[in-house]
Structure 1
């Protein structure tokens, strides 16, 4: 009688990570089949891609404590001493990735270590839920980390891979984020369709033209179903920047004029500080001693001393991140309908700005046009007429801005518009890919 065949050892579960510019999520195989998102914050399956390095009260030998997600944002808003890091994905493919930045109290941290620390936090939460170590993962990536530069784009993916391997993820695969969204959408379709996936998040607007259907979703190899991919590095954080430049920073002198002098046309005040204040990963640069010394000498450039005083309040109280957050909140409020009032009392008692739908569209028109043009280019690259598309599937946080989705839908008159889970459909689709790849 022959001995029973030995069972192959059970493999540790895989995971799927959607490391987003604004929000992130991680998916695991579900016990009953399919995939499930890990609870990364109490009652929540997604969390802001944010880290706060708290240096308050540290002894000389102690390392900064780190808070993540909404806890990180709260620590910053409550005024704890330290450094808030957001939009870390934006530094991938840039020279900043290997550089270090100060976080306060004489401490510094390498930007890429910020990314790996955030991934480690996500992974540890998933391991708690899985009850086992995780070493295999599918990671999402935009169609282009960097527009028009294949070398830097490859460097960006390599930097993300290095950060993932640094936290113990040894077996890795990458998938385009809009393709992942298509895999999630495909779980619901009853017939074959040609779908344009519009994944518009915080950092990029990505499009994929994909054939989906009940028969096709059984296949592991789907390359032949992908007709075209295209994307542009314009999305939600760019919207926030332009909203802030249009509605908040003019009160601090943006596009303001210098003093009037006889026989001279007043010049516009220098604008660099405003662009830096409106860009998440550059805000901290304006607080450096050299920049601050330079800006303190610029009062004479301003024809309106009140505007200059407000600017210096922003700088001296380090309100840059808070103002970007207020611009983001105003964008969301307008997207949900109506006008909004932006309270700027921290700059000056009683000061406020207003934003309505028309003003938002005017501020963002050039960005909206670029995104719609990217959708058109995806169809051209796939050799498909607009009226041949069965559905357009919207996902990503910025698809909550209705004027944008309406412009895209108008380019596809025969397509049914579907709105997926703006924050979670990419993570679930990456989970579907991980199940197929590692099962």
Structure 2
């Protein structure tokens, strides 16, 4: 495993770092002010940032193959880390923000020619936004086989009935298309019951009820999370993604890259938290000396650096495995980073908040929002406990034949 940056990665890193310093960080204060006024829509300055990112060649970096920048996971990892330093702005400005990233990956990998032309192409151009509707309020969606929304074939159409919530991206007025997961055959084997369909936002019978808050934040800047009720909503049969019964497999293919992208960005969040913690504690004094000279604060800073280095190596190893042996071959490592990274970054952010005192929980610093994002990622794309259960079983299975 060689984690050194190749020439292309290094060139993109330098370009992206310049974009962050010259465009993203200076825009953060105005972005927050605009976000407070713009509701569920993206703040107006985002369009200027997107234009500048395109001009600098920093666009669709997440997507491999002909539709995107063609980067490997290992090449994209350090770029996503940089974007994670300003997660409300940088991913969206470069068209690398969830849930659009995962939806574009699904359409690129599983969509037919018509679906790619109709929905993937405008998403790649950043002209529309999209949503992903999988989680349901009435069942434990951490077990995807529990999903109850029904998708029933009726001649040349599918009829959709059920309720979703935390459908990420759906509150944005520019969100034009939902990818919806539901049951097409309750009698099939448990992992062949589900399918995914494309549902245009303006489909009759689709009722976007409300936006779900996350620790009091609307997450409106990247589209929000909606509760949606589907009542006899009809879409053409050609809106089926892949095949009937393929929904679970598509979800797994979608969530693998999504999990590593989240972890890459989390490391960037942690790096920024450590920088802010060091700056703050060097500048303020208690009991006659700078806070940075307090032993407990030095312990926080040292532990934070150790955690970041450990996490980065594990994420890079996972990216390398995904590139060399595929997502299945990297299953253990994907679950390991999904367990470890949000948990440890949450710890680092908590200490940075503590070091800032009252300012740490205020709107004057980004730490409270970063903490809320890290904490929510212990639920998103599968809760810790599900990943631990699966990971433990895989370890136990290695030894099941050894019992006497």
- What TM-score bracket applies, with the shorter chain setting the length? under 0.3
- TM-score norm. by structure 2 comes to 0.28
Give the structure with the larger helix fraction: 2
Give the structure with the larger strand fraction: 1
Q: Which has the larger radius of gyration?
A: 1
